[in-house]
Structure 1
């Protein structure tokens, strides 16, 4: 569910900025680029976070942060200062990256050495499927938002803002199962592959 909802966000954001807010593709793309800047900026810190806090706390923080970022995206309006949007995009990118790294690593915690090649192939395939389904999930959430508010999300300028608000809230709700899953993890989950504090 984490991959599914997270993959929908970069699909919906440019549509929100261009079709609902009426901003140029350059501005919309620059704001989405901030999301990926946050994604890259946190990468060097992810391993130390796993060393210090373990998989359970890191994944719980990342999934909760992802749900929060989607709920906050639902509050964006055309009047929202650009600097606030940039901060939200960077935050969204940070929790996205930390969550992806945590899930990508812990997925192999119980896989034996002899099964690692097959497991890696399966994991890569599932990642691609989740990305594709995430875009579909975003489109369905936007269509559901349009139906609920009675607006054409891609119609007249500003007419679809409410539809996007509903779509982001639906995605935030769909992320809650990932939060529950992370909360239910054992505190020692993934200890056998957890990076050593001395490393």
Structure 2
């Protein structure tokens, strides 16, 4: 939302309204995740989806204030869908080897680590944006460079996902077992 506010001159309400559609895309995707993971498995989903998410993040660099709202809304919705696939897949894979008696502890630890990762990424993005803006007001071009860098950072996760085997997490996703997820 900051690029829409600071770069394009939108109000906080306008920018928030635009980015709200990512949450809608995310919510709708959650209902499809069991089928997606069952059909394709964690490795294939994460190896395929990571470059897509990286490109979508970097694609925010091409946003223009003159773009029709429906194009921006559609793009943000699509981003929300693929981001949700990434988060849900990563989260479910994280839980796949946790024993049932350890789930409560792991859930608390996972939540804390997730929040820490989000805080660190927001802090790093803010620091990088400040650096790009030379400590002054961020311009649209500063945001564009930031989105390109964030896209590259997102793509780096691919190296970890390439180490997965097709069987990793299969007992959770049902991949390869022809389990009916309906």
Query: What is aligned with 2:39?
Result: 52
Aligned Cα RMSD in Å? 1.8
Q: Deviations over 1:75-96 (max 9, x none)?
A: 1111222222111101111111
In structure 2, how many angstroms separate the alpha carbons of the residues matched to 1:116 and 1:41? 26
User: Does residue 152 of structure 1 match 2:137?
Assistant: yes
Length, aligned pairs only: 178
Stretches of structure 2 that go unaligned for 5 or more consecutive residues are none
The answer to whether residue 171 in structure 2 is matched with residue 192 in structure 1 is: yes
Question: 1:78 is paired with a residue of what secondary structure?
Answer: coil
The one of 78, 84, 93 aligned to 1:91: 78
TM-score normalised per structure 2: 0.89
Q: Which residue is equivalent to 1:174? A: 153
TM-score (norm 1): 0.82
**Do 1:141 and 1:170's aligned partners in 2 also have CA atoms closer than 8 Å?**
no
1:8-157 aligned within 5 A: 14-147=1-134, 152-153=137-138
Cα drift, residue 151 of structure 1:
6.5
Q: What is the CA-CA distance between 1:116 and the residue it aligns to?
A: 2.6
Which sections of structure 1, spanning at least 5 residues, go unmatched? 1-13, 154-159
- C-alpha contact 2:130 2:136 (8 A) present in aligned 1: no
Name the CA distance, whole Å, in 1 between partners of 2:21 and 2:102: 38
- Counterpart contact for 1:141–1:171, Cα < 8 Å: no
Name the structure 2 match of 1:165.
144
